[in-house]
Structure 1
Amino acid sequence: MYKVVIADDEPHILNYLNHYIPWEDFSLQVVGCASNGKDAYNLALTKKADILITDIRMPEMDGLRLCEKLKELLPEIQIIIISAYSDFSYAQKAIQLHALGYCLKPLVSEDLSQLLYIAIRSLNKHKTLHYDELLDIIEDGSPAEIQRCFRMFGLNCKEYYVAASIHASDITDALHAKLTIKLGKHKYLYFSNEPFHTDNARQFICYCKKPAGIAVFPDPVSPANLKYCVEDVVVMSFQYFLTGYPTYSEELVDGSLTDDFFQKLTKSFERKSELTALLNELKTINASMIFNIRTAYKFYHMVLHCPLMESAFDTEEYLLYGYEQLVTEYKNFHDMLNCLLKLMCTSNTQIADDTAKVSSFMQIIKYLNENYQQDISLQQLADSFHLNASYISFLIKKETGLTYSQYLTNLRISQAKRLLTSSQLTLTEISESVGFHDYFYFIKKFKKITGVTPGYYQKNLSSQWNHDRI
């Protein structure tokens, strides 16, 4: 819990603030009250207060001087000033001290509550390490652990509202979110204990000039279901890939239409003409009524791996390792369809001319080892070395026993493990620095390869690693 110190020379104000504000609902704790500035100063330093609520006119040290001195020693402390005087010079001085707000007496609890939420959000921005812990616990923790972690951020409730945005700026204020977590580049998760301001989100997306997505899960979610909700709301935020324009979503597209389509798709694998016809049919309908990014990703790889395609050419060069790469490789769903249709007409490429270039293998591996943090498709690699993509795929598999995507993923996880044991970077920063632009995807891949989450590895295995080096 964040710690609060209250300073006012009027006993009834101290009593009101201490006993009639529902501090536990904010996950805040009043650690001391003072009737003069000097005592408040000592209390705040001794208790390492996170929030100071102070009057201006007090004996021994006035509130403005108190704030000025505390800011020097506790630069992250959040200040809320209360006063019976609506003097502009006081308000101006409060702004200079970076106070959150200036409340006039008699106090209105709603005004103070809003300032407390702002204070909590501001403090949360300085708790990045705890963000990483929260993401790990959402993925792998018990409901009780999830609630405990959320209480640290001022969300003391039994259910949570969840939203996500991608390729849009931080919309915390527009949604009136209580907690915001950055998942990756231009990708955010939002949480609240009350419904979001969805009208603001809809208006925001209307003014976006580039592909972007905002998704709001309409109902509150229990801690036990939070992991699945977070996965779904992130998927929903990618819906712009299906529509082709900035999109606001409140519902996951996944139902009978989707199931029916995949049944038709499986049957079409028997004949090239049927598969081609189905892909062309998709170009004429609203794919956003059938697919979300997860099912579009599944569809893409099902087509690539079908016997008709695998017998025609090496599909390894077109494999993708996440939603982010899908939306990076293709502008939208129709662009992806056009690529698949083009591949349908592709015959198996002969690679005999490239077999003399075995010496290129070490150069390719060196290039990957130096650029693994970038989005590198196999085709881009082939273009860089002026080699056949199928040949590079064959060579990597022959020399390492791994497919191209497996080699790249293992390389990234290996580098992540090194950073977890030797750097001060946060988990989110490590995720981005090794090429994973979605932290939840990073968690899943890391756990699949190592058996534990990055957070667990950092806390437990890295300390053992350092001990073994001594």
Structure 2
Amino acid sequence: MLEEAKRIVLVDDEPGVLESIQTGIDWEKLGTRICGVFTDGKKALDYIEENPVDIVITDITMPSFNGLELCSRVQALRPEVKFIIISGYADFAYAQKSIRFGALGYCLKPVDYEELQGYIRKAVQPSSNGQDCDPELVEALYENDVPRLSRILESEGLEEPIYTAVSIGRTPLKHLFDGLCQPLGYHEHLYLFRQPPKEIPERLLEDSEVDGISISTLPVKFSDLQSAVFQNLYDSCQFFFHRESRVFRTHAVYLEGVQQEISPLLYQPAALRTLLLSWSGQLSHISQALDIYNYIFCHLGIDLEIYSYQQLLSTYRSYEEMVAGIMEAMTPDVEKEISEGGYSRGFLKIIKYIHENYSTDISTADIAREFNMNPSYVSQLFKKETGNTIVKYLTSLRMQKAEELLQCTDLPVSAISDACGFNDYFYFIKLFKKHTSCSPSQYRRKLAGDPNDTEASKE
């Protein structure tokens, strides 16, 4: 049975724009159909109140009843409806407001039909619900709450001591372990089991989408589970340094004195590159690669911070590629953009990209690649226009969205973490607690007025 076409309402006070949009896109090919066309926001709202609608494409500036008011009213009425904004105003404030109402995209007139079709595809595609992840187990692990861990794992038939393993990659390896498989984050899977692990030969993973796996050789008590899992996570990420291997049986080691060697070479790119590449066969700890990356840009005063090792892995495929990225960002960019009488167009493109892609694991380097700009220039332009760094702005945006989703939906916490662009569930919990002084689950329980939230208050 064919899936029913998504129903779209078009709203713009310019009939010519409406006609152009209707004829410029193959709606059927996108799995959609236009069910209403309006030049007045109030009439559009009246229609939406009485008829099923999936997507609203609306102009912002319209007489008497503008597009933002329409978004606000429809969101309150039908929160599942998705919005795409079109406007002749390259205005940052409009972009911010439209995203706050759940807009998937912000198109400037004249409308780029390829861009608009991209937003429509995004609206049509179903999102992952993330229900495989048990947030209580992950939170208990993060908090190292041993009594909660014991209760959860014993209910799964696991009694201490247990063995642990972690794999990184699209393919979970449930068939290799007789026990519990728990997603931890984007392409991260934790395995907890009671029987000693079997040897896993490299050839067994040749046709899989697994980048790395680490398996404990000794069982651990629940009180030591957190440290064992984190060690597994770091060990399984050694593929970043050794692409020829996938199974890692030795622990990743954090080398001493690395930053002291980097410091005198910060303004000598060629010498710094030689030093960094000389460590290719020695480094093995993914957190050390992250620290090297952030140390260099922090001391150079360049806002290119990467917040977690998961983001580092999604930005660069290997340590050598990371070094090349560092060198590229240190190269001066002759392009300069003058901003007069408001925000520069380059900045508006950047801020629009951030608001449209905050739900993915984006970094300053990703933004720079998207617009063919130097990463250093991107960070400087953003700081100049906002007075803030990209990382801080993006974090604030994601936390705002996380709170909204916890308040207005019953999505699992893991799904909210994914929806807000956090591939690292542990990091999401940490950041949310810093932002609100409580864990996501506790925040939701407080909203519900749970009188028995005594356990959560101890987290």
Q: Bin the TM-score by the shorter chain.
A: 0.5 to 0.7
- Asked whether the 8 Å contact 2:338–2:344 carries over to 1, the reply is no
**SS of alignment partner, residue 311 of structure 2:** helix
Counterpart CA distance in 2 for 1:455 and 1:169 is: 28
* Matches of 2:232 and 2:354, distance apart in 1: 33
**Residue 381 to residue 260, structure 1, CA distance change in 2 (3 Å):** closer
SS at match of 1:291: coil
Q: How far, CA to CA, are the matches of 2:196 and 2:341 in structure 1?
A: 63
Query: Is 1:166–1:238's contact at 8 Å kept on the other side of the alignment?
Result: yes
Q: Structure 1 residues 452, 228: CA separation in 2 closer, same or farther (over 3 Å shift)?
A: farther
Residue-by-residue CA offset, 1:243-273 (whole Å, 9 max, x unaligned): 1234212332215xx114344334x34x644
1:427-446 alignment, distance < 5 Å = 427-446=413-432
**Which string of whole-angstrom CA distances, capped at 9 and with x for unpartnered residues, describes residues 14-42 of structure 1?**
xxxxxxxxxxxxxxxxxxxxxxxxxxxxx
TM-score normalised by L of structure 2: 0.62
- Report the equivalent of 2:261: 264
How far off is 1:169 after superposition? 1.4
- Distance in 2, matches of 1:168 and 1:391, equals 34
Judge conservation of contact 1:211–1:240 (CA < 8 Å) in 2. no
* Contact residue 134 and residue 182 of structure 2 kept, 8 A: yes
Cα pair distance change 1:245/1:430, threshold 3 Å:
farther
TM-fit CA distance, 1:155 = 0.7
What are the ranges of 5 or more consecutive residues in structure 1 without an aligned counterpart? 1-126, 465-470
Q: Is the 8 A contact 1:211 1:244 kept in 2?
A: no
Alignment of 1:144 with 2:144, yes or no, is no
Q: 1:154 aligns with which of 129, 153, 157?
A: 157
- Relative to structure 1, the CA distance from residue 204 to residue 428 in structure 2 (aligned partners, 3 Å threshold; closer, same or farther) is farther
1:335 aligns with 2:321: yes
Post-superposition CA distance 1:37-59 (Å, at most 9, x none): xxxxxxxxxxxxxxxxxxxxxxx
* 1:169 maps to which of 160, 168, 171: 171
State whether residues 168 and 210 of structure 2, in contact with CA within 8 Å, keep that contact through their aligned partners in structure 1: no
Q: Match for 1:358: what amino acid? A: Y
The counterpart of 1:426, out of the listed 412, 427, 446, is 412
Q: Aligned pair in 2 of structure 1 residues 385, 249: CA closer, same or farther (>3 Å)? A: closer
**Could you say what secondary structure the match of 1:212 adopts?**
strand
In structure 1, distance between residues paired with 2:348 and 2:448:
31
Give, in angstroms, the shift of residue 439 of structure 1.
Answer: 1.4
Q: For the residues of structure 1 that align with 2:296 and 2:366, how far apart are their CA atoms?
A: 21
Check the 8 A contact 1:211/1:245 in 2, yes or no.
no
Whether the 8 Å CA contact 2:133–2:182 is kept in 1: the answer is: no
Distance in 1, matches of 2:286 and 2:251, equals 10
1:309-348 aligned at under 5 Å gives the runs 309-310=300-301, 315-316=302-303, 318-344=304-330, 346-347=331-332
Counterpart Cα distance in 2 of 1:216 and 1:324: 19
Q: Deviations over 1:339-383 (max 9, x none)?
A: 223444x23656353567715355643442232112333344356
- Residue equivalent to 1:296: 289
Q: Please say if 1:193 is aligned against 2:186.
A: no
- Counterpart-to-counterpart distance in 2, 1:130 and 1:371: 23
Which has the bigger relative contact order, CA under 8 A and spacing at least 6?
Answer: 2
Give the corresponding residue for 1:179: 180
Question: Structure 1 CA distance, aligned partners of 2:267 and 2:379?
Answer: 25
SS of the residue 1:219 aligns to = coil
Task: Report the secondary structure of 1:283's partner residue.
Answer: helix
1:173/1:387 CA distance change after superposition, 3 Å: closer
Once residues 355 and 433 of structure 1 are traced to their aligned partners in structure 2, the CA distance between those partners, rounded to angstroms, is 36
Q: Is the 8 A contact 2:202 2:247 kept in 1?
A: yes
- Which is helix-richer, 1 or 2? 1
Verify the 8 A CA contact 1:166 1:237 in the aligned structure 2.
yes
Q: Please give the residue correspondences for 1:442-461 in structure 2 after superposition, counting only pairs within 5 Å.
A: 442-461=428-447
SS at match of 1:182: strand
TM-score if structure 1 supplies the norm length?
Answer: 0.60
Change (3 A) 1:350 1:371: closer
Q: What does residue range 214-233 of structure 1 map to in structure 2 within 5 Å?
A: 214-233=213-232
Q: Is the CA contact (8 Å cut-off) linking 1:161 and 1:196 kept in structure 2? A: yes
Amino acid in the other structure paired with 2:167: S
CA–CA separation in structure 2 for the residues paired with 1:262 and 1:319? 16
Structural mapping, 1:8-407, within 5 Å: 131-157=134-160, 159-174=161-176, 176-197=177-198, 199-200=199-200, 202-205=202-205, 207-208=206-207, 212-255=211-254, 258-266=255-263, 268-269=264-265, 272-273=267-268, 276-277=270-271, 279-284=273-278, 286-287=280-281, 289-306=282-299, 309-310=300-301, 315-316=302-303, 318-344=304-330, 346-347=331-332, 349=334, 351-353=336-338, 358-360=343-345, 361=347, 364-382=350-368, 384=370, 390=376, 392-394=378-380, 396-398=382-384, 400-407=386-393
Alpha carbons 1:165, 1:189 under 8 Å: kept: yes
- The residue identity in structure 2 corresponding to 1:329 is T
**What is the DSSP-based 3-state SS (H/G/I as helix, E as strand, rest coil) of the residue aligned with 2:256?**
helix
How many residues in Structure 1 have an aligned counterpart in Structure 2?
320
Q: Distance in 1 between matches of 2:352 and 2:327?
A: 34
Overall identity of the aligned pairs, in % = 29
The worse-fitting range, judged by mean Cα deviation, of 394-403 and 292-301 is 394-403
| Separation in 1, partners of 2:154, 2:253 | 33
Distance (Å, rounded) in 2 between the aligned partners of 1:181 and 1:404 = 32
